[in-house]
Amino acid sequence: MVFPRKDYQTLREKIKGIRMQGTTRQITLAACVIAFGFVGYYLLSITRAAPVTFSSEAETGTLSANATQVSDSQASGGSAVKFTAGTSSEPKCADLTNLVFCDDFDGAANTAPDSSKWHILSGSSWGGQCFKNLPENISQDGQGNLKMTLINKSTTQCTDSDGYPSSVTSGGMDTQNKQYFKYGKFEIRAKLACAQSVWGAIWTSVGTGPAWPEGGEIDIWETFNNDGRIKNSIHAGNPHWQIGKYIPAANPAYCNDYHVYGIIWRNGSIKCTLDGVVRNEITSAEANGRPWPFDTYDQRLIIDLQYGGPGRPNAGAYDVTELPDSMLIDYVHIFQ
């Protein structure tokens, strides 16, 4: 087996989209049996390839951290697995199966993300700053990341959706009119911005269904860096109702390194994952009879970098002297 890193997280990363291949044990068996002449059967055995979705062990985080312990029973295809190291320590779209949407952001520096996948946000934000479709605010970095940057322009750039003027510009994008999703496993590897007034979000909102909030919203990851926690939440119904759950702040803060933020969205259940481990679950049972749109309507994916401002959620920490600050998105992988 070949592992770029033998840590628990990487193991789960690799499990989720592997192609089943001949195993070391099978090859050993085959080598023995070949000596006895049963060549054909075991050649067939070791070249058998079967696609795998994601194993329940990878989902629940019970996979062994020791790579050598990935055994037959832990791979849903009935065979042990061989991991193939790519050019990166992280999985790439080309290495994965069961994808419905994928972007590794491998474009040249200062180029826009793939316009067949992404619609760039522009103008007033939901709160606190102005989205601009400019390379300085949103572009690929030439090193495998999509980079969104908060910049203080010192003069008013727009007023946000609640009428507050802002001098801060930033980037955001969604899959509106590109692709919509219902159910699946979403994984977005990102390095957050650490500025105190950052309001970053990886989330979904109304796709082809009725308007917000009736059409629903899933916050895969949302953070107000005042407290360093990660918020997982859903919004639904008309009148609006919501459930919000938190992943506690960590030391070092999440914004200091890349992490994989995700959901496993199934009928009646949205599990929220951090680095492949389920940390929160929100279920239709918790709706207590209120509308649960997530088994009815599809959603668009949205990734954006916002900034608190006067009157905004992070007003208390508002300090534009901490800008510019950037958020990096390594990849978006969505499986079904």
Q: Binding residues for Ca ion, per CB under 5 A?
A: 104-105, 144, 330-331
Provide, rounded to whole angstroms, the least separation between the CB of residue 117 and Ca ion.
Answer: 14
Q: Which two tokens mark 17?
A: 């989209």
Collapsing DSSP to helix, strand or coil, 92 comes out as coil
Provide, rounded to whole angstroms, the least separation between the CB of residue 330 and Ca ion.
Answer: 4
Residues for the chain: how many in total? Answer: 336
95 vs 252: CA distance, rounded Å: 31
Provide, rounded to whole angstroms, the least separation between the CB of residue 67 and Ca ion.
Answer: 23
For β-strands 269-274 and 165-166, DSSP reports them as: unpaired
284 vs 268: CA distance, rounded Å: 5
CA neighbours closer than 13 Å in the CB half-sphere of residue 289: 0
293, exposed or middle or buried, with CB in 10 Å at 0-12, 13-18, 19+?
buried
Provide, rounded to whole angstroms, the least separation between the CB of residue 329 and Ca ion.
Answer: 8
Task: Select 95 or 330, whichever has its Cβ closest to Ca ion.
Answer: 330
Task: Select 104 or 222, whichever has its Cβ closest to Ca ion.
Answer: 104
Q: Which amino acid is at 81?
A: V
Provide, rounded to whole angstroms, the least separation between the CB of residue 66 and Ca ion.
Answer: 27
Task: Select 61 or 142, whichever has its Cβ closest to Ca ion.
Answer: 142
Provide, rounded to whole angstroms, the least separation between the CB of residue 144 and Ca ion.
Answer: 3
Provide, rounded to whole angstroms, the least separation between the CB of residue 90 and Ca ion.
Answer: 7
Shortest Cβ contact with Ca ion: which residue?
144
- C-alpha torsion angle, residues 236, 237, 240, 241 (rounded to 10): -60
Task: Select 144 or 308, whichever has its Cβ closest to Ca ion.
Answer: 144
Provide, rounded to whole angstroms, the least separation between the CB of residue 88 and Ca ion.
Answer: 7
Q: Which helix or strand (DSSP H or E) is residue 234 part of? A: strand 230-236
230 vs 265: CA distance, rounded Å: 18
Task: Select 187 or 330, whichever has its Cβ closest to Ca ion.
Answer: 330
Q: Are 239 and 227 in contact (CB under 8 A)?
A: no
Task: Select 1 or 102, whichever has its Cβ closest to Ca ion.
Answer: 102
Task: Select 95 or 104, whichever has its Cβ closest to Ca ion.
Answer: 104
Task: Select 87 or 115, whichever has its Cβ closest to Ca ion.
Answer: 87
Provide, rounded to whole angstroms, the least separation between the CB of residue 105 and Ca ion.
Answer: 5
Look-up: residue for tokens 């592992």?
A: 3
Q: Which amino acid is at 176?
A: Q
Q: Are 325 and 194 in contact (CB under 8 A)?
A: yes
277 vs 268: CA distance, rounded Å: 19
Task: Select 113 or 209, whichever has its Cβ closest to Ca ion.
Answer: 113
DSSP H helices in 16-93: 24-36, 39-47, 56-60
With CA atoms as reference, report the closest residue to 276 among 8, 19, 27: 8
DSSP 68: G
